[in-house]
Structures are given as C-alpha cells and as structure tokens.
C-alpha cells in the first residue's frame, strides 16, 4: 500500500517533527517569556499596590494623565 511506503512516510515524519520542534521553540523562546514577564510584573504591582494604596493612586493618575495627553493629540 502506498501510504505505508517507508521512503515517503519517513520524509513526512521527519518534516512534521522538524516543523513542530521549530515552532515549539519559537513559541517557547519569544511568546512564553514575554507572557511570563508580564504576569510576574502584574503580580508584583498588584501585591505592592495592595500594601500601599498610595502607589495604586499614583499609577491610576499616571495612566489618566497619559490617556488625556494621547486623546488631546488626536
């Protein structure tokens, strides 16, 4: 049967596994590191802001001022 031919089947398995490994390492290296850094920073900011409400107010004020500046430019 042609679908079980060793010569064509081994090439398909090789390229499928190679493509998957390359895709896996790209996702692992670029996307998951950024996602984990973002989540860690978010967790630190939330834990710090729950300790002191002043920090939370400062962050909100900075965001509001940034938003107002960006809206004025447009």
**Segments making up each domain of the chain, as ranges:** 2-73
At 53-64, the pLDDT tens digits run 666 677 777 877
The predicted pLDDT at position 20 comes to 96
User: pTM of this prediction?
Assistant: 0.46
Per-residue b or e along 11-31, where b marks 16 or more CB atoms closer than 10 Å to that residue's CB: eeeeeeeeeeeeeeeeeeeee
Instruction: Extract the tokens encoding 30.
Output: 């670029």
Q: Is the pLDDT of residue 3 over 80?
A: no
At 4-43, the pLDDT tens digits run 666 777 888 889 999 999 999 999 888 888 888 888 888 8
């Amino acid at each position: 049967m042609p679908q079980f031919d060793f010569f064509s089947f081994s090439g398909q398995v090789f390229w499928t596994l190679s493509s998957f490994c390359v895709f896996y390492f790209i996702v692992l290296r670029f996307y998951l590191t950024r996602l984990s850094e973002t989540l860690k920073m978010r967790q630190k900011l939330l834990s710090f802001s729950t300790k002191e409400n002043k920090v939370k107010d400062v962050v909100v004020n900075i965001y509001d001022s940034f938003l107002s500046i960006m809206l004025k430019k447009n």
